[in-house]
Amino acid sequence: MKIYQFDNYKAFLTDAIENMPKKGRGIARKLAEYLTVHPTMISQVLNGPKHLSQEQGYKTCEFLVLGEDEARYFINLLSFEKAGTVNLKEFYRKQLKEQKDKAKKVSSHVAEVTQISDKEAAIFYSQWKYSAIRLLTSLPEIRTRQDVAKYLGLSNIEVSRMVDELLKSGLCVEKKNELAMGAKLTHITPDSPYLPNHHANWRLRSIDQCSSARKDDLFITAPMTLSLEDFEKIRMRLLQLIKEISRTVEKSESELLACFNIDLFKLTPSGQGH
């Protein structure tokens, strides 16, 4: 859900309904049934001055299948609208801002994070191969260093050296000459000096893949002009997508190795900086 783009719960609710199948036809009535109220009441909320109660707001979150954080944001939006004093409105305004700022941080959309030391990070993020090797050890058919080398088309010597580094950091484990993944995920902060390398390494690998793309590969490059408001909307949708993908991957069986890259940036005039 793109709830963090909204500063008004009614606007979000209207948008959520309109983006449902068949443009939300009949959804307002279903919501009324779920809340055990007359459909007229829902119409008065969406199009008039009437507000949901706190209890109705919570049940609406259930109806929309919002996550815990999104539900908390929705309830705070509702509370903000119903607040009767300036001080109380300011109280909820601060909470909403904190939640929105948290939602903007990519790290909050990653399911589980394992921190590695600065020295380990310098090695791990120096080449895409380290990440690829670690992920490959989660595949059932990849058990040995030789399996990894064959899959990636690398020499046994190079793979063995890299595996040794992964074993030192605990990102891989090895028992009876069989490899397995250690820690589930790694994540570096936006201000990390290793982040540019990490982005560049996998994007260069993506460029290599473009020349021999398969039918089910997906490569999109889409320069565009748009408003600042729409740029922010797209950014928030992508962050929500990252969260959904993280949840999906967390529960997904390891059957293949894939790479997912997203780039969205403002191309500013030369000399103006970021």
Cα dihedral 240, 245, 247, 248 sign: positive
In this prediction, residue 111 carries a pLDDT of 46
List residues bridging with 218 in a β-sheet: none
> For 180, which DSSP code?
E
List residues bridging with 199 in a β-sheet: none
In this prediction, residue 261 carries a pLDDT of 86
Tell me: the pLDDT tens digits for 254-270? 888 888 888 888 876 65
**Residue 166 in contact with residue 134, Cβ under 8 Å?**
yes
Q: Tell me which residues of the chain have a pLDDT lower than 50.
A: 1, 111-112, 274
- Which pair of tokens denotes residue 208? 């290599």
Tell me: the pLDDT tens digits for 17-70? 988 878 888 999 999 999 999 999 999 999 999 999 999 999 999 998 888 889
Q: Answer yes or no: pTM beyond 0.85.
A: no
In this prediction, residue 273 carries a pLDDT of 52
Percentages of the chain per state (helix, strand, coil), in multiples of 5? 60, 5, 35
In this prediction, residue 247 carries a pLDDT of 77
List residues bridging with 175 in a β-sheet: 178
In this prediction, residue 65 carries a pLDDT of 82
Neighbours of 247 (CB within 10 A): 13
